Amino acid sequence: MVITTIEASRYPAQLEAKRQRIEAQFAAFEPPALEVFASPAEHYRMRAEFRLWHEGDDLFYAMFEPDHDKPRHRGKVAQRIVRLETFPVASERINALMPALLDAIRDEPLMRHKLFQVEFLTTLSGEALVTLIYHKPLDEAWEARACELQASLGVSLIGRSRKQRLVLSRDHVWERLEVDGREFVYQQVENSFTQPNAEICRSMLEWARDATRESHGDLVELYCGNGNFTVALAENFRRVVATEISRTSVASAQANVEANGLDNVHVARMSAEEFTQALAGEKTGRRVAAMALDECEFSTVLVDPPRAGLDRESCEPLKQYERIVYISCNPASLAVNLAQLDETHRITRMALFDQFPWTDHCECGVLLERRHSR
């Protein structure tokens, strides 16, 4: 369902329904009281993407939703075009840029012709990056006019088409989050994963910092992305080793470590499986040597895996750590992994982060600590 209007007074009820669902789903694990973190009811998404729909002289943003009134085509449900004048779940900056961009290009064939998608990436402080995606090559004339458009809108602009990516000024924004009385800065790169709900991201970082406060030993973080948790948790540990497989995310994480002045963090381009092998002495090489694993005493592991969660083989090595911080974007896969981890660890804290209000999506945080007797 495409959200075109919001009735904010209904938000507490939908959040309560999520709370009840999560409590019921995980009751068998006997967790402590669920900590619930509410989102702003509107203007919470810092990024959004839209199709650009052309109808004669008209030009508008569009999304699609299932149209069950029409017959299926080759087994697929028909799609209905939803015209968007505003998008209330997106940030106020995105909502301000949406009409301004259309007004600037509607009567300009050079900028409008074969433009089929627009992506917005914004920050709480108002920085904005706009990506225009075309079904045509982008030439010098387009680039010259795009530079003027970038200046007039007060944004950073990128043009993309097949085998082309023209970055006019920069390909990222800098988010600034005040967390637990500290300000952290994060480079967020175009077309790379970042937490979409900045206020909930702030809540997640505060929760994770509190859950790991007064920690002993070192932290290993798997699936670290752009260093979102890495940066915020570093001061709770003697040393942090963070791993990620995406080259773009590793570069961004390293930039964020430097930007926040951290000297106890090492970011490695390595999969979770490779790290487990390195820790067991089964993998060597330059990247492994750089981590200086023989100097580490890992007490805590943080995992923030994809929606599929961890397979059984990847989940098993987590049991060697005294504490596990598990951030999950899919309660179903989290429950499967917890059934395995429950053999050695118990849940001592559990949180619900409402990353996507008005949807069924739930994001959870779990702190597990080793069982010393059963």
Contact 164, 6 (CB under 8 A): no
Residues 235 and 308 in one domain: yes
Residues 128 and 276 in one domain: no
Task: Compute the average pLDDT of residues 145-163.
Answer: 97
Q: What local confidence, expressed as pLDDT, does residue 280 receive? A: 76
Determine the Cα angle at 176 with ends 160 and 119, to 5°. Answer: 20
Q: Is the residue at 178 inside a domain? A: no
CA distance 135 to 143: 15
Residues 109 and 200 in one domain: no
Strands (DSSP E) along 101-194, which ranges? 115-122, 128-134, 156-161, 164-167, 172-179, 182-189
Task: Compute the average pLDDT of residues 290-302.
Answer: 88
Task: Provide the 8-state DSSP code for 69.
Answer: T
Q: Is the residue at 286 inside a domain? A: yes
Residues 266 and 366 in one domain: yes
Choice among 201, 329, 362, 364 that is catalytic: 329
Residues 201 and 285 in one domain: yes
Residues 197 and 339 in one domain: yes
Residues 235 and 363 in one domain: yes
Q: If you average pLDDT over every residue of the chain, what do you get?
A: 92
- CATH assignment of the domain containing 351: 3.40.50.150
pTM above 0.75, yes or no: yes
Residues 230 and 361 in one domain: yes
Contacts for 162-167 with beta carbons within 8 Å, 24 or more apart? 162/135, 162/137, 164/137, 164/138, 166/138
Q: Is the residue at 1 inside a domain? A: no
Task: Compute the average pLDDT of residues 249-259.
Answer: 95
Residues 333 and 253 in one domain: yes
CA distance 256 to 205: 15
DSSP string computed for 203-254: HHHHHHHHHTTT--SEEEEES-TTTHHHHHHGGGSS-EEEEES-HHHHHHHH
Choice among 201, 224, 363, 364 that is catalytic: 363
The residue with greater pLDDT, 276 or 347, is 347
* pLDDT 10s digits, 214-237: 888 999 999 999 999 999 999 999
* pLDDT 10s digits, 108-131: 999 999 999 999 999 999 999 999
Q: Is the pLDDT of residue 101 over 70?
A: yes
Residues 247 and 146 in one domain: no
Q: Is the residue at 2 inside a domain? A: no
Q: Is the residue at 184 inside a domain? A: no
Tokens 């920085």 belong to 127
Residue 364 designated active-site = no
Q: Which domain holds residue 269?
A: 8-42+190-370
Residues 94 and 162 in one domain: yes
Task: Kindly compute the dihedral angle of the four CA atoms of residues 63, 68, 71, 77, in this order, to the nearest 10 degrees.
Answer: 50
Q: Is the residue at 305 inside a domain? A: yes
Q: What local confidence, expressed as pLDDT, does residue 69 receive? A: 64
* Number of structural domains the chain divides into: 2
Q: Is the pLDDT of residue 374 over 60?
A: no
Residues 17 and 109 in one domain: no
Q: Is the pLDDT of residue 1 over 60?
A: no
* pLDDT 10s digits, 12-59: 999 999 999 999 999 999 999 999 999 999 999 999 999 999 988 899
Residue 363 designated active-site = yes
Nearest to 222 by CA among 275, 292, 294: 275
